[in-house]
C-alpha cells in the first residue's frame, strides 16, 4: 500500500509525464524535489505513477490523447514493418497506452548481430543518432534515434531503437507484476490499432 507522500509524489510525477513528456524515473525524482522530499524510500513505484498518469489523462486529456496515441502507434507500426528482420517490439508509453504527442516511440530490436540494425539504417540512408541505455543485463546497449514524420500529428516523432541481443527476447516477453506484457510485436500493435478504429 502506498503512503500518502508516495501518492502525492506519484500525482506530481504524473503531471510531469503528461505535460512535459518525461520518463517515469526522472519525473519521480523531480516531483520529489519539488515537494521537498529527497529520500529514495519516499519514491512511489512505476505502477503507482502509471495509475496516476491514466487518471490525469482521463481527467484532462480525454479529448486529445486517444488520437495522439493512435498516431504514435501508427509511426511505431511503420518502423516495425521496416525493421521486421530485427524482431521489433514496441515498449514504453506508446505500448502501455499512456502516450501523448510529447512522447517518443520506443522500439526494442532483437538482433543476432548488434551492428546489423545500424548497417540497415545506413544502407537505407536513414539519418540517426547513437546513444546508449542500460540493457536487460545492466550492460549498456546502443540506442539508435531517428526522426519520423507523423502526418496525423503534423510534426516529427522521435523513434528510439534499442539494439538488444536475440537471446534477450525470451525474458522480455514475461508479464510484469500485474500480469501485463511490457512489450508487443507488430501483430500486437496492429491489433491495438484495429481496436481503436
Give residue-wise pLDDT tens across range 138-184: 789 999 999 999 999 999 999 999 999 887 777 666 766 777 788 99
Mean pLDDT of the region 29-38: 86
**Residue 181 Cα distances to 36, 116, 152, angstroms:** 34, 26, 27
Burial class of residue 15, CB neighbours in 10 A (0-12, 13-18, 19+): middle
- Delimiting residues of CATH 3.30.460 domain(s) in the chain: 65-196
Mean pLDDT of the chain: 91
Strands in 140-150's sheet, in edge-to-edge order, are: 129-134, 140-150, 155-165, 105-111, 89-91, 183-184
What is the Cα–Cα distance from 93 to 56, expressed in whole angstroms? 14
pTM for this structure? 0.90
* Grid cell at residue 17: 509525464
* Grid cell at residue 145: 534515434
Fold for the domain defined by 65-196:
Beta Polymerase; domain 2 (3.30.460)
Q: What is the pLDDT of residue 40?
A: 75
Ramachandran angles phi, psi of 21, nearest 5°: 70, 25
The gap from C-alpha 179 to its chain's centroid, in whole angstroms, comes to 18
For residue 85, what pLDDT band results from cuts at 50, 70 and 90? very high
For residue 1, what pLDDT band results from cuts at 50, 70 and 90? very low
Cell 540497415 -> residue: 120
For residue 6, what pLDDT band results from cuts at 50, 70 and 90? confident
Amino acid at each position: 500500500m502506498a503512503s500518502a507522500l508516495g501518492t502525492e509524489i506519484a500525482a506530481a510525477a504524473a503531471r510531469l509525464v503528461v505535460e512535459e513528456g518525461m520518463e517515469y524515473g526522472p519525473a519521480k525524482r523531480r516531483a520529489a524535489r519539488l515537494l521537498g522530499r529527497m529520500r529514495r524510500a519516499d519514491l512511489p513505484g512505476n505502477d503507482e505513477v502509471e495509475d496516476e498518469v491514466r487518471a490525469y489523462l482521463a481527467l484532462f486529456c480525454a479529448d486529445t490523447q486517444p488520437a495522439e496515441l493512435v498516431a504514435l502507434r501508427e509511426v511505431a507500426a511503420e518502423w516495425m514493418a521496416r525493421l521486421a528482420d530485427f524482431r521489433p517490439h514496441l515498449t514504453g508509453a506508446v505500448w502501455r497506452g499512456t502516450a501523448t504527442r510529447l512522447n517518443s516511440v520506443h522500439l526494442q530490436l532483437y538482433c543476432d548481430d548488434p551492428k546489423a540494425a545500424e548497417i540497415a539504417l545506413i544502407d537505407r540512408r536513414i539519418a540517426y543518432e547513437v546513444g546508449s541505455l542500460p540493457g536487460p543485463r545492466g550492460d549498456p546497449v546502443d540506442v539508435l534515434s531517428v526522426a519520423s514524420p507523423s502526418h496525423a500529428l503534423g510534426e516529427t516523432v522521435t523513434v528510439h531503437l534499442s539494439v538488444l541481443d536475440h537471446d534477450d527476447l525470451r525474458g522480455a516477453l514475461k508479464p510484469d507484476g500485474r500480469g501485463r506484457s511490457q512489450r508487443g510485436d507488430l501483430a500486437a500493435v496492429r491489433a491495438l490499432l484495429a481496436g481503436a478504429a
